[in-house]
Amino acid sequence: MTKRVYLDYAATTPTDSEVVRVMQPFLTEEFGNPSGLYEEGRKVKQQILDARGRIANLIGARSTEEIIFTSGGTESDALALLGIMRKHKGHLIVGSTEHHAVLYNAELLAKEGFDVDYAPVDSAGFIDIDALASLIRPDTTLISIMYVNNEVGTIAPMRKIKKLISDVRAQRKEDGNEAPIFWHTDACQAAAYAGINVAALGVDLLTLNGSKIYGPKGIGILYVRRGVAIDPLWRGGGQERKLRSGTENVAGIVGLARAIEIANELREKEVERISELRDKLLTGIVKLIPKVVINGPTKEAGEEITGTQDRIANNVNVSILDIEGEALLLYLDQSGIAASTGSACDSVTLDPSHVILALGKPYEFAHASMRFTLGRETTKEDIEYVLKVLPGIVETLRKVSPLNLDIDATEMSQKKAFIADGLPHWERNKK
């Protein structure tokens, strides 16, 4: 049997065995509806209250009422954007490298008549603070900037964004402008390695889900700071403070609370261990394979290539030029390696990565990008196996690839991404 090496932890993680254990009773004997006034309902209702309190404490929330349970990161992002904008109106700004859960809901709001702007990033994926500031208008209502980018691992300059929004609020107060301005962050990729404290971050809304932190799939939260009013996406039984109706996923809620606890317990040791393996993979790929461009923040230390403190610990994203990312992905899978490619945002359209294009890199880089994300089960032997297999696959594909343009990476890096006038970053290639 072919050895399997899973390196797509940014897509999803296995559910921790301890999380499964605490969930198990609520999939069998503890089955009551939390809205029921009888004993079966009261018992599971208490479990929800306990989990909500633990999560609030773990992320630094002031009140349990600030935690809204959802079906996952996508719903939480949608509730944040649509809930704020439909409630307060005004102008929306989102980052150009956001997850599609943010970008597509921003696009939906634009179709509803809202003004939407996209904040640019630099070549490493960091939000341009000056450009972001220039986009803020007197009627700007919401800014949505993700904490950690899911493709290239860039950690946003959260303190600078916090200060910018604080300064805007102070200026509005001085000007007599009573229009509120809120800040939302998608923190799904941050919880396992960066940690989350909403008070320190200064955010008004924050998205978190279970599937990225060894918790169950189909569960997430939206943190909504006390005093921030939003509209629900739909109406129903009124669960979750009338902001998210539907019978609660008790097993998922209990599992999510335990997953966040475990992530906090393991974070420090895992960051140290995973960072070392990540740097070994980064260095090996660049040494063994010609014409490779690293995407996201890195630095050179002698012959070693390492991530910076502003790159999440488990992320490696490279553009391996002159081949198609999808072809490489399939060959890797045949060799027992699971990774992902930025070439396809979804399997139907095969669009190139909007994130790589937003970094100012050309179409060829986007179609050649590969993401390897490490996790708790990743070993040194796994990395060595990838470095043993990957160069040969690349050599094979380059021999038959129509993309072999016979130009070096330096020349390629000087090319500018095609930017279609009037189109958001993730739709540049469609024009």
Where residue 74 sits, what CATH number does that domain have?
Answer: 3.40.640.10
61: left (phi over 0), alpha (psi -120 to 50) or beta: beta
| Last residue in a domain, options 230, 262, 294 | 262
Q: Are residues 278 and 253 in the same domain?
A: no
Domain of residue 409, residue span: 5-10+267-430
Contact, 19 vs 261, CB < 8 A?
A: no
Q: In this structure, are 102 and 119 located in the same domain?
A: yes
What is the rounded distance in angstroms from the CA atom of residue 80 to the CA atom of residue 102?
9
Pair 312, 396 in one domain = yes
Residues 285 and 372 in one domain: yes
Nearest to 10 by CA among 376, 379, 374: 374
How far apart (Å, rounded) are the C-alpha atoms in residues 278 and 294? Answer: 13
What pLDDT, on a 0 to 100 scale, did the predictor assign at position 425?
A: 45
For 427, which DSSP code?
G
- Asked which of 205, 229, 262 is the last residue of a domain, the reply is 262
End-to-end CA distance of the chain: 45
Same structural domain, 366 and 399: yes
CATH of the domain at 293: 3.90.1150.10
Of all residues in the chain, what percent are helix, strand and coil, respectively (each to 5)? 40, 15, 40
Phi, psi of 369 (to 5 degrees): -80, 140
Residue-level pLDDT at 273? 98
Q: Which domain-ending residue is among 262, 296, 322?
A: 262
Number of domains in the chain: 2
Same domain, 404 and 310: yes
The order of strands in the sheet holding 182-186 is 67-70, 220-224, 205-209, 182-186, 140-144, 91-95, 115-119
The Cα 285–Cα 328 span in angstroms is 14
Catalytic residue among 293, 345, 389, 393: 345
Mean pLDDT of successive 10-residue stretches along the chain, which has 431 residues: 89 97 95 90 95 98 97 98 98 97 98 98 97 98 98 97 98 97 98 94 98 97 97 92 92 98 97 97 96 93 82 97 93 96 54 92 92 98 98 95 53 37 42 35
Active site residue 345: yes
* In a shared domain, residues 227 and 327: no
pLDDT at 32: 92
Q: d(Cα 100, Cα 75) in Å, to the nearest integer?
A: 12
pLDDT at 1: 53
In this prediction, residue 350 carries a pLDDT of 61
Residues 149 and 276 in one domain: no
For residue 279, how far is the Cα from the chain centroid?
Answer: 21
d(CA 296, CA 145): 16
**Other C-beta atoms lying within 10 Å of the C-beta of residue 290:** 15
* 278 and 243 belong to one structural domain: no
227 and 297, same domain (yes or no): no
Tokens of 80: 């944040």
SS3 144: strand
Are 66 and 179 in the same domain? yes
The C-alpha atoms of residue 327 and residue 401 are separated, in whole angstroms, by: 10
Nearest to 358 by CA among 419, 291, 293: 419
Whether 335 and 241 share a structural domain: no
